[in-house]
Amino acid sequence: MTTVLIVDDEGPFVRALGISLRARGYDVETAETGEAGLEIAARAHPDAVVLDLGLPGIGGLEVLRGLRSWSSAPVIVLSARHAEATKVEALDAGADDYITKPFGFDELLARLRVVLRRATPGLDEPVIVTSNFTLDLRAKRASTPTGTEIRLTPTEWGIVETLVRNPGRLVSQRQLLQDVWGPAYETETPYLRVHMAAIRRKLEPDRARPRYFITEAGMGYRFQPEQ
Amino acid sequence: MTTVLIVDDEGPFVRALGISLRARGYDVETAETGEAGLEIAARAHPDAVVLDLGLPGIGGLEVLRGLRSWSSAPVIVLSARHAEATKVEALDAGADDYITKPFGFDELLARLRVVLRRATPGLDEPVIVTSNFTLDLRAKRASTPTGTEIRLTPTEWGIVETLVRNPGRLVSQRQLLQDVWGPAYETETPYLRVHMAAIRRKLEPDRARPRYFITEAGMGYRFQPEQ
DNA sequence: GCGCCGCGTAGAGATTGCGTCAAGGCCATT
DNA sequence: AATGGCCTTGACGCAATCTCTACGCGGCGC
């Protein structure tokens, strides 16, 4: 399920957009101030954010920067301001798109699809095959080579996905905790240890000698594709 | 070097944009028809494409679809048409952005930076290759030329990274200690000696005669790239 | 030639980090 | 109200890593 966070202080607009998104199968969270937006983002880790630049209190740009300090989720900025310098500033601050009001919902939805398909790499090739298991990221299905299903819990999927989306690369414990649990859990390394053990029990042929999910002591974990 | 392909039939515009891009360090290829665009894309493998929708001959959308059949390079579509349905069509056909004319160069350049940073993350993280080892800083991975993995501990990575990020330059012991251990450890030069020995054991062909990690007595260490 | 200084090496001990297990709590489902 | 799945949390043993010390070597100045 894809979660979209809308941060905007115009109630009617937010409600209308929310309905549109939900009708298309997205999960929607909303916030009417920048502070609330950052808070909800930290709790719900949305897959994309629609952010109004003209917010009361802390401005849209601050929200964008706050978000970018830990999240790489795509952000679409909405604004009534047409000035080129403003656009460039927002885009360089980490926004993925900048749409000026007024605009059509269909365009916004299309642009949302664009940033979502770019932000989740490996979605075009979402099946990972090793000689011990097969992962279908899109279907969220794991199975043995013979086809028997392996059940992974939501947390285990979260960890496996971020590791598998960075094949061969080291993923720091910090990033794993941020991706799966949210920025407030950066230091909860014990969680990671427990769940890594569970993942290995299910996916490694010999959990004492991991072959796919490698520990790098003091740094993080690495998914090692076959060959 | 980042290569941008411009497909547009308005000569003066193409020339002006080309100059702007080259001035910013991009490599630029241009094509005035869709057919030529596809041909050049296949030959040059651009990192991004700026594509005019209103082309003579085969249309911009065809070019986009042709491109997407084999390439995932980001495409920014330019068009005079404001109709929402046209935008949605292009975006769903694989475009990463859709800009309506007239527009400012600064905005186009900013949007180009956006799609490039999404499409090629970590473009700036270098890979260091010598005839004795390979270092991939982004993946935090060291290996022999034959592909065997070399394991470096967190401290060793810290030292190697600061040395390798200053190729050929002397890095003082003080700076190394500060970077890796923190400012309170400025005087703990014995640590450095011990860990440099470990690094050489793993990365130098003959640790008695260091070739890559050179000691400058009384001053510091230097990473000597090959050649 | 002699002594000093800085460096490389080795190894023991301390520390940190990791894997494992099991108990307890929360939530949804029945 | 009871069950089962899942996540959190703490305790423990083990492995990896770092710290710290001792020693030997070589260059340099005297």
- Nucleic strand D near CB of residue A45 (< 7 Å): no
Q: Where in chain A is the domain with CATH 3.40.50.2300?
A: 3-118
Calculated CA dihedral for residues A77, A83, A84, A89, nearest 10 degrees = -50
- pLDDT of the residue at A124: 58
pLDDT at A65 exceeding the cut of 80: yes
Residue A130: strand pairing partners: none
CB contact under 8 A, B95 and A107: no
- Nucleic strand D near CB of residue B96 (< 7 Å): no
| Terminal Cα distance for chain A, rounded | 32
Q: Rounded to whole angstroms, how far apart are CA atoms A11 and B179?
A: 49
Strand C: which nucleotides have any atom within 7 A of a protein Cβ?
6-11, 16-22
* Cis amide prior to B102 (ω within 30 degrees): yes
As a whole number, mean pLDDT of residues B61-68 equals 95
Class of domain A127-223: mainly alpha
- pLDDT of the residue at B122: 64
Q: Rounded to whole angstroms, how far apart are CA atoms B51 and B108?
A: 12
Token couple for B128: 């260091």
Separation of B128 CA and C17 C1' (Å): 29
pLDDT band at residue B120 using 50, 70 and 90 as cut-offs: confident
- pLDDT of the residue at B206: 92
- Nucleic strand D near CB of residue B182 (< 7 Å): no
CB contact under 8 A, A110 and B119: no
**Who's near A108: CB < 8 A, 6+ residues apart?**
A17, A50, A76, A78, A99
Mind listing the pLDDT tens digit for each residue in B135-179?
Answer: 999 999 999 999 999 999 999 999 999 999 999 999 999 999 999
Could you tell me the CA-to-CA distances from A134 to A166, A205, A227 in Å, in that order? 16, 13, 15
Kindly indicate whether the domain formed by B3-118 is annotated with CATH number 3.40.50.2300: yes
| Cα angle, residue B62 at apex, residues B60 and B65 outer, rounded to 5° | 110
H-helix or E-strand containing B217? none
| Terminal Cα distance for chain B, rounded | 21
pLDDT band at residue B88 using 50, 70 and 90 as cut-offs: very high
Residue in B closest to A86 by C-alpha: B107
CA distance, residue A168 to nearest chain B CA (Å)? 7
Helices (H), A2-83: 11-23, 34-44, 60-68
> What DSSP line would sit under B131-158, residue for residue?
SS-EEETTTTEEE-TT--EE---HHHHH
Q: Where in chain B is the domain with CATH 1.10.10.10?
A: 127-223
Chain B residues in contact with A74 by the CB 8 A cut-off are 118
Average pLDDT over chain B, rounded to an integer: 93
Closest nucleotide (C1' vs CA) to B217 is C6
Residue B170: strand pairing partners: B222
Q: Rounded to whole angstroms, how far apart are CA atoms A110 and B98?
A: 11
> What DSSP line would sit under A77-98, residue for residue?
EEES---HHHHHHHHHTT-SEE
Chain A window 129-168: which residues touch B at a Cβ cutoff of 8 Å? 168
Among residues A82, A113, A12, A94, the alpha carbon closest in space to that of A51 is found at A94
- For chain A residues 134-193, those near strand D by a CB cutoff of 7 A are 151, 153-156, 181, 188, 190-191
CB contact under 8 A, A88 and B74: no
pLDDT band at residue A226 using 50, 70 and 90 as cut-offs: confident
pLDDT at A36 exceeding the cut of 90: yes
